[in-house]
Structure 1
Amino acid sequence: MTTLLWGVPSEPPMAMVAAALAARGAEPAVVDPRAAGAAIDLALSGAHGERLLDGVLRLGDRVIELGSVTGMYLRPVEPAFAPGLAPGDRVRAQRVHDTLLSFTELADALGGCRLANPLSAMASNMSKPYQAQLIARHGFYIPATLVSDDPDEVLDFVERHGRVVYKSTSGIRSIVTAFDPVRDRDRLARLRWCPVQFQELLDGPDVRVHTVGDRVLAVILDTAAVDYRYARAQVGSDARLRPHALDAELAGRCVALAADLRLPFAGIDLKVMPDGRVACFEVNPSPGFSWFEAETGVPIASAVADWLLTPA
């Protein structure tokens, strides 16, 4: 039995999961996207009418039989964006990346291996409006939303909803910012180059929920900022984080939502509104959880490690 970690080893989430696995006596194989010396051979072979995954992964002196991999934690970086790789090394690293990507998808399809998360399942977050439709099926409130490249349409939306924020429509990180009808009016002409997502601004505390299989680990954030990640820049002080217990019904909905999106490990952004409704903004398919754990002690890395080591 082997656990495979695919990502930059020094990145905090990857390092924390690796440490949690080591604390449990596991010796995970770590594939660094920048390691041009790695090599992988992959094949599908038939035996007794069954499709079996076969091959080896070479990481320096370590050789991993791919059939022995029972758990994987994925936070890969495309070699094209990995610093420090020479052009020739980048080509070799890309070949390893592409083959390893095929392996993870095959392993997920064939079963018997725990993946957090299959890269194909992460695709729902590439379009926030699309993902919002999936989220709504689980009873969460979705803020009134407009995606537009028309300044007049945006001003009409602002007039109808009063307080509005804007953000990216894709999975690329953007800063959620309050729309200012005076400051931003002249900038609306830039929409002609790229549509932007506008939403009604909701009141209430933010809650970040991490689901790991059936486990739910929640953190509530106290801040007046529109985007708690950038609270210092927006309101002059960082958000204050503390552990938060969800009621069973809401926790169950979060687990069901993540499962519906095929995300064994997910970061779900909620807003608890004054009237008791719970809004969901998005489901992060590769949550950078280290800040939440460091600030609150909520054992997210340990939950991921336990899940990876549990037989599928």
Structure 2
Amino acid sequence: MTVMVWGVPSEPPTAMVTGALAARGADVLVVDPQALAGATVSMELSGTDRGGPAGLLAGTIRTGGRSTGLGHVTAAYLRPVEPDAVPGLTPEERTRARRVHDTLLGFTEVADALGGCRLANPLSAMASNMSKPYQAQLIARHGFYIPETLVSDDPDEVLGFVYQHRGAVYKSTSGIRSVVAAFDLERDGGRLERLRWCPVQFQERLYGPDVRVHVVGERTFAVLVDSAAVDYRYARLQVGADARLRPHRLDEDVAERCVALAAGLGLPFAGVDLKLLPDGRIACFEVNPSPGFSWYETETGLPIAAAVADWLTGVGIRPDGG
């Protein structure tokens, strides 16, 4: 049986999962977004009915010098790149790549229901992160504290929010990465009129250690972050020194909530961003549906890629899927 890895082969998370799969003797089918223009894929559903997803999935993908039946793909690790974002393609190549991309996307959306294919993660499940305010409502149902939040295009409303909370941070509302920054009246006050053209998300500023939790199935790998930066990913830019990472032991109930949260979002593999508040509350900022875990693993030695490979190949997985 075959595990499909759909992503840029040289990107560290993709490379690490591919290597971990190979170390387990898995047959790995690498689907490189750069090569989709020269690939072909066919897919056919048979025996389906209007009452449900029952049916058979058949088809073939030809890429990377090999041909693989889609029915033989038992798992997939997904970090695809939209054809429009792949450099160097001609318009004709981009059109061909788009056809293959969309067909593969359709395959990943039905492969679990029709063939029991294990997916980390379905792209439809990743969509919750495209609206952070929406995802925050889902997170709150799992017992985490959600920072007080304002999305506004009104400068006066924003200033009132900042004064009320004695400080705030601002960030993107979408899944597109942005640098989280503290609101500074001297620096940012004169730019507030720009909100008229585009609402921005503001949150109360919280203090305490950051913890990134990678959830893989029912396993958790927590990393404590030591940094004075507002956004520790950009600590060197913000405070002149890189964040320091070390493994962290989660309380059992917090680990269980992280697993339940990821499962509730339909994400077998997720990066949960927590902050440990001084009063004992656990805040959760967001759940990353396609976590770039390589930095955390390299710095701490936590076997995240190995855990993903184990989950994809079914190693140590109970019959109920846990």
Taking structure 1 as the reference length, what is the TM-score of the superposition?
Answer: 0.98
Pairwise CA distance, 1:88: 1.5
Taking structure 2 as the reference length, what is the TM-score of the superposition?
Answer: 0.95
State the distance in 2 between where 1:258 and 1:47 align.
30
Counterpart residue number, 1:11: 11
State the distance in 1 between where 2:48 and 2:285 align.
46
Q: Percent identity?
A: 73
Answer whether contact 2:262 2:269 (CA < 8 A) is retained: yes
Q: Alpha-carbon deviations, 1:260-279, whole Å to 9, x = none?
A: 00000000000000111000
Closer, same or farther: CA 195–50 of 1 in aligned 2, 3 Å: closer
1:248 aligns with 2:252: yes
State the distance in 2 between where 1:149 and 1:288 align.
32
SS of the residue aligned with 2:84? Answer: helix
Pairwise CA distance, 1:34: 1.2
Closer, same or farther: CA 60–242 of 1 in aligned 2, 3 Å: closer
1:28 aligns with 2:28: yes
Answer whether contact 2:31 2:64 (CA < 8 A) is retained: no
Answer whether contact 2:56 2:115 (CA < 8 A) is retained: no
1:198-277 to 2 correspondences below 5 Å: 198-277=202-281
1:1-312 to 2 correspondences below 5 Å: 1-35=1-35, 36-46=37-47, 50-310=54-314
Answer whether contact 2:139 2:261 (CA < 8 A) is retained: yes
Q: Alpha-carbon deviations, 1:104-150, whole Å to 9, x = none?
A: 00113335110000000001000000000000000000001000000
Closer, same or farther: CA 199–47 of 1 in aligned 2, 3 Å: closer
State the distance in 1 between where 2:23 and 2:65 align.
23
State the distance in 1 between where 2:135 and 2:54 align.
35
Pairwise CA distance, 1:47: 8.6
SS of the residue aligned with 1:209? Answer: strand
Q: Alpha-carbon deviations, 1:10-60, whole Å to 9, x = none?
A: 111000000000111113101111112111000001299950111011114
SS of the residue aligned with 1:28? Answer: strand
State the distance in 2 between where 1:239 and 1:253 align.
26
State the distance in 2 between where 1:86 and 1:12 align.
27
State the distance in 2 between where 1:187 and 1:43 align.
53
Answer whether contact 1:163 1:178 (CA < 8 A) is retained: yes
Q: Alpha-carbon deviations, 1:190-213, whole Å to 9, x = none?
A: 111111000011110000000000
Task: State the one-letter code of the partner of 1:274.
Answer: P
* Stretches (4+) displaced over 3 A: 47-50
Answer whether contact 2:60 2:67 (CA < 8 A) is retained: yes
State the distance in 1 between where 2:182 and 2:115 align.
45
State the distance in 1 between where 2:38 and 2:83 align.
13
Answer whether contact 1:108 1:118 (CA < 8 A) is retained: no
Closer, same or farther: CA 230–47 of 1 in aligned 2, 3 Å: closer
Pairwise CA distance, 1:89: 1.2
SS of the residue aligned with 1:263? Answer: coil
Task: State the one-letter code of the partner of 1:26.
Answer: A
Answer whether contact 2:228 2:239 (CA < 8 A) is retained: yes
State the distance in 2 between where 1:54 and 1:240 align.
48
State the distance in 1 between where 2:174 and 2:63 align.
34
SS of the residue aligned with 1:120? Answer: helix
State the distance in 1 between where 2:99 and 2:198 align.
33
Answer whether contact 2:30 2:64 (CA < 8 A) is retained: no
Task: State the one-letter code of the partner of 2:61.
Answer: L
State the distance in 1 between where 2:175 and 2:121 align.
16
Q: Alpha-carbon deviations, 1:198-236, whole Å to 9, x = none?
A: 001111000000000001001000000000000001011
SS of the residue aligned with 2:27? Answer: coil
